[in-house]
Each structure stands twice: as C-alpha cells, then as structure tokens.
Structure 1
C-alpha cells in the first residue's frame, strides 16, 4: 500500500482533497438518484488507477517503494479526495434504515450493488493505472 509519511504538508493536502471529495459526494447525492453509488464507484476506480499507476512506477524504481512517490499527490488524491468521495458509511446507514423499515431485499441489493461496482471499478482502475504508467 502506498502510504506517504504524514508530514504537515501531506496532512494539509489530504484535508484539502477531503474537502473537495466531500463536496463532490454531496453534489452527486443531491442531484443524482444513484449519487452515492456513483461516488463510491468513481472513488474505487480513481483509487485503483492511482494505486496501479504508482505501483507500476515503483516496480520500475530501484527502491521499489511506492510510498516515496509524490507524497503530496498521494495525500491529496488517495487520502483526501477519494477517501471523502467514497463513503460506505452512508451506504451502511441507508441500508440499515431500509432494513428497519422492512425493505430487507432493498437493503441487501444496495449493499450488493455497491460492493460489486466498487470491486469491479477498483480492478479496472488498477489495470488502467498500471497500463498508463507502462
């Protein structure tokens, strides 16, 4: 996993990215019926691309350490934007609400859609990122 050293500048980059991701998630949820599904899927895809891209560069690097690659960019995008954009906590809350209201199949379906789309998007992202770096 590519975890940069948490310097002050990386933390600030993560906070700025987090603000951008949270605003994007809010807007998606507000204006799209499946906004949270879109946010989670895009978050998984973008994190997959970033991890694949950085890992491909690290594989070519003599040190092989992806954590040393652009820590501010990793802080901004991986820790900040993607972390705040994708939110499975919101899915958990909505699924629990549906479950408690008796819509158990809807709750299970919501979780299944988020997990399947998230894993598929992350796999596509990893492959895409690796190929972009190559």
Structure 2
C-alpha cells in the first residue's frame, strides 16, 4: 500500500470531520474553524486510525463490514480515552456522555468510508 493512500485517507477524513463539527457547532460566520476542527481531528486519527488502517490494508477489502466494525470499535475506544484524559473532576461519568458515542460513531464511519475509497484499491470479497 502506498503512503499517499494513507495520507489521502487521513486528510479527507480530517476535513470531513472538520466540516461536520463546523456545522454541528453552528458558528457559520467563522469559516476558519473548519481548518481548526480538521487539525483537531487530524492528530487522534494519526495516532489511532493510521496504524490500524496500515494493519487492515494488508488484506484490502472495499466497504468491508468487518473493517467497519473494527474502525467503529477502535474509534469508540479512542474517544473514551481522549475524553477520559480531558475530563475534569466533577463531570458526569464517561458512559453517560452522549458526545463520546456520537464522535466515536461519526469518526468511525467517516474514516471507514474514506479508507474504502482512497486506500482499498482492490476488492477481494468478504
């Protein structure tokens, strides 16, 4: 697999998540936030998703439900870790905070979609 495919997946996923967060926040007059949110998502994707993508792409499968499930579970685990590290002492317990699940599911879907489009060049079946 080419490094360019990994970089394209990372870039497009970060930008897509930046757009989603931009529309979620609703500060439409501040378009620079799209780039700020993309950078915010770039770092966790680089740390957690790229190594997983490299491992999974040894046996490439486009739009594989198994790969989707793996990305989804790892995204949820990464979001729980990130929110745990950023939590303050008197916040509600992590398992009750819906934003963790929302970010985990959305980032898992977006990364799996861009991985299937950019990096999974051949379809070997299920």
With the shorter chain as reference, the TM-score category is 0.3 to 0.5
Relative contact order, higher structure (CA 8 A, sep 6+): 1
Larger Cα-atom Rg: 1
Which has more helix, going by share of residues? 1
